[in-house]
Amino acid sequence: MRRTFARRTAVIGSAALLLLGPAVAIAQAEPETEPAQTSSLPAELVEALQRDLNIDAERFLADAQRSQDLAAFAEKAREQFEAVFAGVWLDDQGTATVGLTEGDGFEEARKAAEDAGFTVAETERSEDALEDQLGALGDWLETQPPAVADVIRGIAIDVVNNDVVVRTDNVSGVELPDFLDGVRVLFAPAELTPEGATDLQPIAGGLGAPDALFGGDAYAALGAGEGLRCSLGFNAEDGNGRPVNITAGHCDPNRAQAGTRWASQVHQLVGDNLGQHLGSFEKTVLDRSDYALIRPSAEAAARFENNGVRVPFAAPLTITGVADPVVGAPVCKSGLRTGYSCGVVTATGQNVEIGHRVLENGFSTNLCALQGDSGGTLVTGTLALGISSASNVGQYGMCEIAGFVSGLLGESPELFATPIKTVLAENPGLKVRTW
């Protein structure tokens, strides 16, 4: 059966790949109204911002909030200025930009954008026109034999360059139709799996319930005779007020049994050893999205009743709300393998093939993530943004090596994620913890 890339409605960006682990959340629907204080950012996060983005904590928080202002404007502009709206993004200097194309309503749209404090960039095509081109590509793929269709691994809109991007295994011998003449073609990354954990041994005791567990901390998932190392995601509450953790679906080694008495079991990782039994997988999704909900055991539940994200065993960043991915927005991920790494959102609303499945409406970043970082958190400012899912450099042992090798190939590290708002929308009553 040939895969297809479904059409989507709000697209902004370019393309990339990586696989990681599961968590659930408690959250407010809107970002906080008062700006976070720079002193609230952990030292490890501030160091990563300076190392990876060459920006300070103040710029990080300001750009994060600005990206959400853009997201709110875009939601309205798509309805009010449909004919001319061409997307939103932050440029390299953090300038909040609205793309507009010539047509009916252009001047009105320009005034609205500038009155809101945004810079206007004139583009050749509207977002609707680019989506039509994307749909035409999908229709064309449906008519192609597997030898052609199966090399296409993803399609997306690059809002900054106002064009369409095709992700492919190998472009040799593939002739795109005339209506896609000039489209950018990028290579697809290989599938990444969570780090194996078959050599883990239990230790006596473990950490007690008063010791909180945060997003980014390590856990082991044991099921179906397999063990996987992954990172906790955002702590959350379900509709009944019970704690859960939102992590990656591919971190569950026995997905078909999630929510049953045969579900994969979750243990804290203490170095290379198993610590306290933490709970089990209650829900696992690996079709279109990539997330899972971990239900803590009664003995471990109190350890998840917090809103923190951290480098394992360091001071946490407190999560104050949830956010939409916006191209150019600063983003940092935490995970057991590489701690904090920071970059920017490079694409949103894209569909990309990962192994034998398609991640729909995901977003990509230029972050390095390695095996074991799966399921960890992505934040912009103090807002929950997404769950780490897939990467094109996960097979390397160090991010320094990954950056060097990918640079030789003319590429850069890429991390794909499932938006946290997608998880919340698919699970009514679920909230990312903000207290």
The distance from CA 111 to its chain's CA centroid, rounded to whole angstroms, is 33
Category of 132 on φ-ψ map: left (φ > 0), alpha (ψ -120 to 50) or beta: alpha
CA distances from 118 to 81, 110, 328 (A): 15, 9, 14
Separation CA 272–CA 392 (nearest Å): 25
Of the candidates 52, 250, 267, 389, the residue annotated as catalytic is: 250
The answer to whether 374 is a known catalytic residue is yes
- Three-class SS of residue 169? coil
Distance CA(49)–CA(219), nearest Å, equals 26
How many whole angstroms separate alpha carbon 5 and alpha carbon 353?
A: 9
From residue 250, give the alpha-carbon distance in Å to each of 24, 93, 201, 292: 14, 36, 22, 8
Q: Is 356 a catalytic residue?
A: no
Token pair for 53: 């983005």
State yes or no: is 267 an active-site residue.
Answer: no
Of 329, 20, 355, nearest in space to 154 by CA: 355
Q: Are 344 and 392 in contact (CB under 8 A)?
A: no
How does DSSP classify residue 315? Answer: P
Catalytic residue from among 280, 374, 391, 406? 374
Given 290, 341, 364, 388, the catalytic residue: 290
The string of DSSP codes covering 253-287 is: TTGGGTTSTTPPEEEEEETTEEEEEEEEEEEEE-S
Rounded Cα–Cα distance for residues 120 and 378 (Å): 28
Residue with tokens 């709300």: 321
Helix axes 57-80, 43-52, angle to 10 degrees: 70
**Would you list the DSSP string of 46-71?**
HHHHHHHT---HHHHHHHHHHHHHHH
Q: Which residues are catalytic, by number? A: 250, 290, 374
